[in-house]
Structure 1
């Protein structure tokens, strides 16, 4: 009784507690940052670009930039997501009085944790729609601790729009659920507005919620697809049960009419009909959904007194006919339909190189959601069971919602953030159902007293479960008159579900705490320092960082230039250095003959130079990750067919502790060392001779039945000796056995590496990643692309250099056609901290040369 009287306060208190837990977990990085520079707390990809948009919007009186020339040089880019998150952040900055960059960052980094906290509160009402206040509390509590990208994308330091997508899409789903619940058992007469006023009002609310989500991100179209699939399924169920579908016709028509009108007012921001942008394609999609709902409704009325299977067969026939007509009469719309379905639910080779676009693996699924996956499966079974007994359209909607999002996540791991709330909801549904079924047995086990049952509840129980009711009566008749025993199988299920719920909550909470405490979003200090140096020590591009430009009239000034690096680092280059990257994390500027993949994988300097000339590039930035861990990604973007096969090979070798077990090693082939990324980062563009390498004997998988070639012998030796030995071995090798020459070290090439003649190192970061006889390899390096001074002569020329980190190295180059083209100047007019410590010297002679900076930049001849 006390609980009942204070239930509202209890609910408010618990939901508030869950909100605070969600906030605490996400704000752990802020609470433990100490005196760390707040910029270092910002993740290195999308958050930095969103922060740029906030700065740009604030500087232009809350205007939103739909075009940005500060990336994807020399084209610029159109912004494909909506302004809602940016405007919310603008409002937060205004309220907080944030003006400087650190203040703006501080205000913005709180936005996404607050999105997640609001979702936690909202999930109480979503859960309540599937049961009662207890289901709501469970859904809210699980949402507070659930892991995956829902947590990662709302962690302090990752300012972005994704958890806003979850918030507004969940708000839309809640509104749609209320429509379904409110119309259960109601009779609607389309001619009498009074009979569907409530449906109309709820539909208007749902339409507004949909628009809010759409103005945040065009991906909201996924939830229109969910509604469309649900509508089809529900019409079939309703026809089977003899129920009319006016409520679906009204709801879908109003919701997507509002979406259409809202988008028309908002305006189309992109040409064509791509549904991943704000294009006219959305209008066609919404009108199609309204028309399809109307068709389903009128077909149901027309076939009302026919056999039940007529309706689904007619729907299938209409669907096939529609697709065929679309293919013939409107191929552009057909292509749009196919392409956008593939975008959401398909996979391509290059997407496996994009972390949040990769396919979901079972291991990743378990790491993210652990025991929640089992509870979700239980929740789906519960909803199906409930609908077998009684009509519950809201639970059918939940199953469709769950299955589509689950499949989307399986294809692209980024959609974990949508799946998180579904797992929290269905876990709550499962737990509530099991405990409701087992509550009487639990109480009896605890007190020894059979809980009282009203006559109505007894009848309901017997009606719902006649066999079980008869069995209990029979058991009571056979008893000795004592109270019946608890149903132990039911208690066992309760215990299992209770254990899974505790494991789900505890495992997720522990994992999130570990992630929050790990500094996962903190910026790499080498990159931060390198880009701050770049912004302060390179010429201004002539494009104002804080100006919103009109794409119809904008032209790059003659002083503009691009920065070539891998696409991962594009937003950092824009936000920190205020320079213009050729490629960015939108995967723009990556593919094609002039893309960054083609540049870094080039093995010919002239080809690479032509790419930089076409792209208007002046500086090139490399890092150790491009050189090692991300190399396969660049190779895949360059050639999806062969990917990294020509450059690197994976082999198995026996473990030293247990020869029956194998470890995997990646060894470099000769073409790896000829790529531009290797020649720049590993050898500073200098000529490098081959010295030692691995002589490797191995057996094919067809021989060993292993997944990879198995190394049977390996020896470090001189490169030429290794090549001779491998050639001799292969002449008499057994079938399936081979020998080759490979290298384990990135600084030990298998063949002589020629010098790059138009690239000079101008900066390197302090962290050393490789220390070898051939020299240190720093984490980040910046090179300038120059014309190079021309020196007539033959042989090998060298120059001693010292970097800004105090590392001494010698640049060496062999003449081509009686000429050297050298990239370094020797005078004090060199504006960069990598300096020559002596003149150029032709080896084996006493000839030296001094090279002025003007000759390097203008390409003039010294002698």
Structure 2
């Protein structure tokens, strides 16, 4: 439905990937067939057949462009060598440099400059030289592979190991029946693109994977990755995970997001869920009309998790984040999206690059409740310190009804406990609860957060 890499390659993709060398490769293939017809040659036949085959599958699906890059390199190299041969470079058969210089003619210089210029520097906007120099200041622009490796290695080492063994052979259940998971098995919710790497690196069970299992959505709004990520409220996201549940537990214990999901492909989730409308709007600026994210965009669950770092959520907590990477798809849009939210929607987000990959845990949450003056506004605040040293503001607000208030909080202030998540992102201290002029602090244990326990703090 939205598999971009499976679509046919476009002229823009061709120019971005190969420049003029793509078209020179056609000329080289034609020359190969000429030589094959003129005089049978096994090496030329192999190169021609191989190149035509890879070219055909690349034209059908652009994902194969990186395979064809090898063929283009060989073909233009062959073409360049033929041009040099035609100009008489084969005559330089001496190892004596002085003698070679004496025998150099104008056609030798022109042919060499021509080959280097055409293959390496044209067109000026998409040549191999230009692409290399554009990437040089920060190295190759990546898909955040190192950050995924970091985050998933942490998950493997710091979250409870499921009973389902990683190295094993499983018997497929009968059609229509679920696999008999144990009570200690759990899922990891993320977009389907990342399902296999979650399995491979973290040794955990993804809710969705590149076999396109677990995506959900459609006209029936089936529970899955798409409906979870665009859920407009925490309660609706919880409902998705609960519907995916097994053995009386939610279908996922952890959620993983990255900047690409948060800033670049939200409409892809919406397309799968058949709800792709209203996530962007137009605003008038000094440069004319600009398309920007709408409030609906920032209300989605993936935004609440990745952009807002769980601020105000009751059942989700950030437990680990990778290093930032602003030189990735998505990562290069983070500060812009945060600035739009602050300017257009009255936000107060820190304009910074946060972790490219973030891991969240879905918990029952501990309840903080107590007595407070009737109808007074009660606020709860804390500062979350992440494993890379970022500080995140966490707050909730409610109104005391009939002289009582209640908050559900996802963060333990007393640290991790054995055999559970060994989180390295946590509150800087106790929660502060304020009613009017009175403020008090309270700690919450990890066991209460996991089991849904209750602590009492009266504000009178």
Report TM bin, short chain.
Answer: 0.5 to 0.7
- Residue 758, structure 1, aligned to residue 328, structure 2: no
Alpha-carbon contact 1:599-1:611 (below 8 Å) kept: yes
Correspondence 1:857 to 2:456: no
Bigger Rg over Cα: 1
Provide the residue aligned with 2:365 in structure 1.
Answer: 788
Q: Report the counterpart of residue 373 of structure 1 in structure 2.
A: 22
Equivalent positions of 1:41-56 (< 5 A) are: none
Q: 1:823 aligns with which of 406, 410, 425?
A: 410
1:364–1:651 distance in 2 versus 1, CA, 3 Å: farther
Aligned to 2:98: none
Assess if the C-alpha contact under 8 Å between 1:825 and 1:836 holds in 2: no
- The reply on whether 1:551 has 2:171 as its aligned counterpart is yes
Q: Structure 1: where are the runs of 5+ without partners?
A: 1-347, 447-491, 656-661, 687-754
Change (3 A) 1:815 1:370: same
Instruction: Choose from 238, 254, 258 the match for 1:619.
Output: 254
Superposed CA offset, 1:819-857 (max 9, x none): 543323455667644136234525337486654433322
Instruction: Verify: 1:778 aligned to 2:360, yes or no.
Output: no
Change (3 A) 1:600 1:814: farther
Matches within 5 A, 1:707-856: 755-765=312-322, 767=324, 770=335, 773-775=348-350, 778-779=354-355, 780-790=357-367, 795-804=377-386, 805=389, 807=391, 809-814=393-398, 820-827=407-414, 832-833=423-424, 834-835=426-427, 837-839=429-431, 841=433, 843-844=435-436, 846=438, 851-856=444-449
- Distance change (3 Å), C-alpha of 1:362 and 1:498: farther
3-state SS of 1:557 partner: coil
Cross-structure match for 2:95 = none
Larger strand proportion of the pair? 2
Secondary structure of the structure 2 residue equivalent to 1:414: helix
Which residue does 2:263 correspond to in 1?
Answer: 628
Looking at structure 2, the residues matched to 798 and 600 of structure 1 have their Cα atoms a distance apart, in angstroms, of: 26
Change (3 A) 1:513 1:789: closer
Measure, in 1, the Cα distance between the counterparts of 2:385 and 2:368: 24
Is 2:382–2:393's contact at 8 Å kept on the other side of the alignment? yes
Give the equivalent residue in structure 1 for 2:100: none
User: How far is the alpha carbon of 1:629 from its aligned partner?
Assistant: 2.8
Question: Over residues 680-708 of structure 1, what are the superposed CA-to-partner deviations in whole Å (9 max), with x where a residue is unaligned?
Answer: 2232333xxxxxxxxxxxxxxxxxxxxxx
Conservation of the 8 A alpha-carbon contact between 1:371 and 1:501? no
Q: Is 2:159 the counterpart of 1:531?
A: no
Quote how far apart the aligned CAs of 1:621 are.
Answer: 2.5
Report the 3-state secondary structure (helix = DSSP H, G, I; strand = E; otherwise coil) of the residue aligned with 1:368. helix
Aligned positions of 1:306-705 closer than 5 A: 348=1, 350-352=2-4, 356-382=5-31, 405-420=54-69, 422-423=71-72, 427=76, 501-503=115-117, 506=120, 518-519=139-140, 526-545=147-166, 547-552=167-172, 555-585=180-210, 587-592=212-217, 593-613=222-242, 614=244, 616-639=251-274, 643=276, 645-649=277-281, 665-686=290-311
Q: Deviations over 1:416-444 (max 9, x none)?
A: 244345545665776788889xx6xx78x
Query: 1:796/1:582 Cα in 2 relative to 1: closer, same or farther (>3 Å)?
Result: farther
After TM superposition, the score normalised by the length of structure 1 is: 0.37
1:393/1:524 CA distance change after superposition, 3 Å: closer
In structure 1, C-alpha distance between the alignment counterparts of 2:433 and 2:382, rounded to whole Å: 9
Distance 1:419 1:857 in 2: 51
Partners of 1:596 and 1:778 lie apart in 2 by: 23
Contact 1:563 1:619 survives alignment (8 Å) = yes
1:728-774, CA deviations, whole angstroms, 9 ceiling, x for partnerless residues?
Answer: xxxxxxxxxxxxxxxxxxxxxxxxxxx43211233345649658844
1:617 to partner: Cα distance: 0.8
Specify whether residues 382 and 569 from structure 1 end up closer, same or farther in structure 2 by C-alpha distance, changes over 3 A only: closer
Q: Indicate if the aligned counterparts of 1:789 and 1:851 stay in contact, CA closer than 8 A.
A: yes
State the distance in 2 between where 1:829 and 1:377 align.
Answer: 61
Matched residue SS, 2:394: strand
Secondary structure of 2:254's aligned partner:
strand
* Alpha-carbon distance, 1:563 to partner: 1.9
Structure 1 residues 802 and 666 mapped into 2: Cα distance closer, same or farther (>3 Å)? same
Q: Is the 8 A contact 1:351 1:358 kept in 2?
A: yes
CA distance in 1 between partners of 2:74 and 2:148 (Å)? 41
Structure 2's unaligned 5+ residue stretches are 92-106, 122-126, 174-178, 246-250, 326-333, 343-347
* Native 8 Å contact 2:380 2:396 kept in 1: yes
CA distance in 1, matches of 2:168, 2:118: 47
Q: Residues 608 and 376 of structure 1: is their aligned pair in 2 closer, same or farther, counting only changes over 3 Å?
A: same
Distance 1:757 1:386 in 2: 71
Structure having the higher helix fraction is 1
- Are the structure 2 counterparts of residues 386 and 612 from structure 1 closer, same or farther at C-alpha, using a change threshold of 3 Å? same
Q: Is the 8 A contact 1:375 1:501 kept in 2?
A: no
Contact 1:623 1:681 in 2 (8 A): yes
SS in 2 for 1:540: coil
Structure 2 CA distance for aligned equivalents of residues 495 and 652 of structure 1: 56
- Offset at residue 646 of structure 1 (A): 1.7
SS in 1 for 2:208: coil
Once the two structures are superposed, the pairs formed by residues 53-452 of structure 1 within 5 Å of their partners are 348=1, 350-352=2-4, 356-382=5-31, 405-420=54-69, 422-423=71-72, 427=76
Partner Cα separation in structure 2 for residue 765 and residue 509 of structure 1: 31
Alpha-carbon RMSD across the aligned residues, in angstroms, is 4.7
Kindly state the Cα deviation for residue 670 of structure 1 after the two structures are TM-superposed. 1.4
